[in-house]
Amino acid sequence: MSALEDRIDEIRAQGRAALIGYLPVGYPDVDTSIAAVVAMVEAGVDIVEVGPPYSDPMMDGPVIQHAAATALERGVRVDDTFRAVRAAADAGAQALVMSYCNLMLSRGYDRFAADLRAAGGVGVITPDLTPDTGQEWIDAARAHEVDTIFLAAPSTTRERMHLTVGASRGFVYATSLMGVTGERASVGDAAAQVVAAARDAGAARVCVGLGVSTGAQAAQVATYADGVIVGSAFVKALGDGGDLAALKAKVAELAAGVRGDA
Amino acid sequence: MTGSLQQAPGPFFGEFGGRFVPEALMAALDELTDAYEKARIDPVYTDELTRLALEYTGRPSIVTEVPRFARHAGGARVWLKREDLNHSGSHKINNVLGQALLTKRLGKQRVIAETGAGQHGVATATAAALMDLECVIYMGEEDTERQALNVARMRLLGAEVIPVATGTRTLRDAINEAFRDWVANVDTTNYVFGTAAGPHPFPAMVRDFQRVISVEAREQMLERGGLPDAVLACVGGGSNAIGSFDAFLDDDSVRLIGCEAAGDGVDTGRHAATLTGGRPGILHGSRSYILQDEEGQTQPSHSISAGLDYPGVGPEHTWLHSIGRAEYWPVTDAEAMDAFRLLCRTEGILPAIESSHALAGAITLGKELGPDATLLVTLSGRGDKDVQQAAEWFDMLPGGDA
């Protein structure tokens, strides 16, 4: 059992779902983004995901695209990701990285895993790397005791679900819909179906992301998932001005949601 | 044939290629791969594709010897494979008809595509009109400005053209946006990918559809006295080049030369010569060479030619480069434009600026090899779309220096 798995189980024993918050590093600037990570933890995020901005974010909608582009224009570096990981871990959260794979490949999978571990990070979510082409990464992550978190989608077949669940450590990231990151008016039935399919394939822990932005949506997802992942709504609250108070208010709303208090 | 390099199946070409995409797209790529594997051996499909090539595209395309041009290329014999004469003006139609027919077989009603210069967008809009498919084309905003006539052309054909204002506002951003559309609409939509790059099955499938160029050209050259000493084609993503090379891959005497866009010069940093100036990485779903910084961020590319202005390259080219079977030469904007004007003035043929990079390569190689050499150059597209840009380059517009 990894530290991340322990933490999710501990939260489940409290009768609630975990709140997982995503922020891109360097938005609106590096120092503010690190302060924002700490603010998220103080306001009730259990698990932090930080993302090194990437030049070609194929899975992201307009809010995170804008944040990533802003951060890159201002000179963010991949090293800053590990500073943010350290800040999240020091604040008491389990710290993850969500990264497009070319940044990991460019640094070297082994060095990426080692650097994450050294910074106190526990796992990596790979939106454009699946277990079929991810074996080199999986080997490096296992060697450094870093959890490998893969995505499952509404389109994932039964066979692929077994592959995904088998290769995942920490949790399986169930995407609630077919599409890119961003807020949606509602979280549809597909999310519950993906979670059920992952559990059928043997997943012990499944968290849901994409499109969750309100306390009510979080409360609904918390009825069937082990964790609720929120990204764009937090990024939007933080905004170009780096509004930590607005971010904390949004986190508090979602934190109440995962406790069924929405 | 044992040991043949032709029609390599993928998903990997050596260590390059593969499928590095979001899980949400994996089922659709599997479905597409499966449909293509069945279709390519189904006479109902292959006969229809052959009929369209004959009666719609106008295949086989001819080869034209260009002796007046060749005087400037060391006196070598130079032949052009005339993909510019295809319906819709470039080699792109070869691929698009294959993928549009496949879309019908998949039972999908909507196609999306990216385009740089507009050639692939025009070809896709053409096939969509022919086969009654809804069509959305993503095009970088900068490219919609430098290729405004092609935007109008796609709209005339009934396609919706969406300018992409993110990132560098060029082909690479158009591809990102097309993938975002696809992941949200994959149930109803097929992504008609324009070049021999991207995730499996696109590199192998697009190569197969473009292979007709070299199959015809090889036959045509044998009828005219023998295999050429070299085949030259321009390389952006690399679809016309891989199609021009494939049937010659096992002819060891034939040099294969891909001409990359060197923009202002590789040493200026303002170029799109990926195999000359890049290194291995993952972009747009496959492992290949990429123009990237030391952290893995894709770098902006530059070329006068929108169709070659791409910081990646198809994985099979990277493989051919790595095993030494093909060479990749950088050709600057200025060299390409000189070759463009030379072909216009000596032969009365107006080439696409993309294809002019291959013509420039032929001038260099002809001078190196001399009059005994025979060169085959793929003229991948016609230059009608480039008239405005070329006229500006040469200062020929009314009110200029006249």
Mean pLDDT, residues B275-291: 97
pLDDT of amino acid B170:
87
* pLDDT > 70? residue B16: yes
Cβ distance of A69 and B22 shorter than 8 Å = no
**Which of A94-98, B138-142, B317-321 is predicted with the least confidence, judged by mean pLDDT?**
B138-142
Q: In this structure, are residues B168 and B300 in contact, taking their beta carbons and an 8 Å threshold?
A: yes
Cβ of B293: how many Cβ atoms within 10 Å? Answer: 10
- What is d(CA B309, CA B318) in angstroms, rounded to the nearest whole number? 17
A92, A98 in Cβ contact below 8 A? no
Q: What is the pLDDT of residue B402?
A: 46
Which residues on neighbouring strands pair with residue B263, listed in sequence order?
B332
Q: Of A81-95, B2-16, B165-179, which one has max mean pLDDT?
A: A81-95
Q: Which amino acid is at B92?
A: K
Q: Which residues contact B38 (CB under 8 A, 6 or more apart)?
A: none
Q: What is the DSSP string of B136-174?
A: EEEEEHHHHHHTHHHHHHHHHTT-EEEEE-STTSSHHHH
Q: Which residues make Cβ contacts (< 8 Å) with residue B342, sequence separation at least 6?
A: B69, B72, B359, B363
Residue of B nearest to A105 (CA): B281
**B382's tokens:** 């016609």
Domain boundaries, position A97: 3-258
Which of A125, A136, A155, A232 is the best mutation test for B, with the most CBs of B within 10 A?
A: A155
- The average pLDDT across B35-60 equals 98
Reduce the secondary structure of A200-231 to three states and give it as a string.
HCCCCCEEEECCCCCHHHHHHHHCCCCEEEEC
- Tell me the shortest Cα–Cα distance from A183 to chain B, in angstroms: 14
Give Cα B295 distance to the centre of its chain. Answer: 28
Which of A61, A101, A164 has its CB closest to that of B20? Answer: A101
- Residue from B81, B88, B90, B114 carrying the catalytic annotation: B114
pLDDT band at A262 (very low <50, low <70, confident <90, very high): low
When pLDDT is averaged across residues A222-247 and rounded to a whole number, the result is 97
Q: What is the pLDDT of residue B400?
A: 56
Q: Are A101 and B282 in contact (CB under 8 A)?
A: yes
Q: What whole-number distance in Å separates Cα of residue A100 and Cα of residue A11? A: 28
Domain with CATH 3.40.50.1100 in chain B: 14-54+92-206, 58-89+211-393
Cis omega (within 30 of 0) for bond into B398: no
A153: nearest CB among B23, B179, B292: B23
Separation CA B392–CA B341 (nearest Å)? 13
Q: Are B91 and B307 in contact (CB under 8 A)?
A: no
The string of pLDDT tens digits covering residues B170-187 is 889 999 999 999 999 999
Residue labelled with tokens 């910081």? B311
Contact B142, B166 (CB under 8 A): no
CATH of the domain at A232: 3.20.20.70
Say yes or no for a CB contact (<8 Å) between A55 and B290: no
Report the pLDDT averaged over residues A126-147.
Answer: 97
CATH of B58-89+211-393, one of 3.20.20.80, 3.40.50.300, 3.40.50.1100, 3.20.20.70: 3.40.50.1100
- C-alpha distance across the termini of chain A, in Å: 32
The pLDDT confidence band at residue B146, using thresholds 50, 70 and 90, is confident
CA A256, CA B68: separation in Å to the nearest integer?
79
The minimum CA-CA distance between B303 and chain A, rounded to whole Å, is 19
Q: Which of B12, B19, B20, B23 should we substitute to test contact with A (largest number of A Cβ atoms within 10 Å)?
A: B23
Comparing CB atoms, the residue among B28, B183, B295 nearest residue A103 is B295
Q: For chains A and B, what is the number of CB pairs under 8 angstroms?
A: 108
What is the C-alpha to C-alpha distance for residues B65 and B79, in angstroms, rounded to an integer? 4
**Separation CA B213–CA B348 (nearest Å):** 22
> What pLDDT score does B398 carry?
86
What mean pLDDT is reported for chain A? 96
Omega prior to B201 cis, within 30 of 0: yes
pLDDT in tens, B89-139: 999 999 999 999 999 999 999 999 999 889 999 999 999 999 999 999 999
> Would you say residue B1 has pLDDT above 50?
no
Q: Rounded mean pLDDT of B80-92?
A: 97
Cα–Cα distances in angstroms (integers) from residue A134 to residues A52, A201, B29, in the given order: 19, 20, 17
Task: Give the mean model confidence (pLDDT) for residues B375-387.
Answer: 96
Percent of residues, chain A, with pLDDT higher than 90: 92
CA separation, residue B355 to residues A46, A181, B318, B340, B379 (Å): 56, 39, 20, 8, 5
CA distance A178 to B179: 12
Residue A42 has pLDDT above 90, yes or no: yes
The DSSP line for B304-317 is: S-GGG--SB--HHH
Tell me if the domain spanning B14-54+92-206 has CATH number 1.10.510.10.
Answer: no
Quote the minimal CA–CA distance from A45 to chain B in Å.
26
**Gap from A254 CA to chain B (nearest CA, Å):** 25
**CB atoms inside a 10 Å sphere around CB A159:** 10
Contacts with B20 from chain A: Cβ below 8 Å:
101, 128-129, 133
Residue among A57, A59, A105 minimizing CB distance to B296: A105
Give the pLDDT mean for B50-55. Answer: 98
Confidence of residue B147 (pLDDT cuts 50, 70, 90): confident
**Whole-number pLDDT of residue B107:** 96
What's the pLDDT band for B401 if we cut at 50, 70, 90?
A: low
Show the beta-strand stretches assigned E in A92-194: 94-98, 123-125, 147-149, 151-152, 172-175
* pLDDT tens per residue across span A192-223: 999 999 999 999 999 999 989 999 999 999 99
Q: How many CB atoms lie within 10 A of CB A259?
A: 18
Dist. CA B81–CA B33, nearest whole Å: 30
Share of chain B above pLDDT 90, in %: 93
* DSSP per residue, B184-246: HHTTTEEE---SS-SSTTHHHHHHHHHTHHHHHHHHHHHHTTS--SEEEEEESS-HHHHHHHG
Number of structural domains found in chain A: 1
Mean per-residue pLDDT of chain B: 96
Residue A25: the pLDDT is 98
For residue range A156-187, list pLDDT tens digits in order: 999 999 999 999 999 999 998 888 888 888 88
How far is Cα B397 from Cα B400, in angstroms, rounded to an integer?
Answer: 5
Q: Among all chains, which residue has been given the structure tokens 């030619």?
A: B305
Tell me the CA distances in angstroms from A82 to A120, A129, A137, B181, B195, one per residue in order. Answer: 9, 20, 18, 32, 37
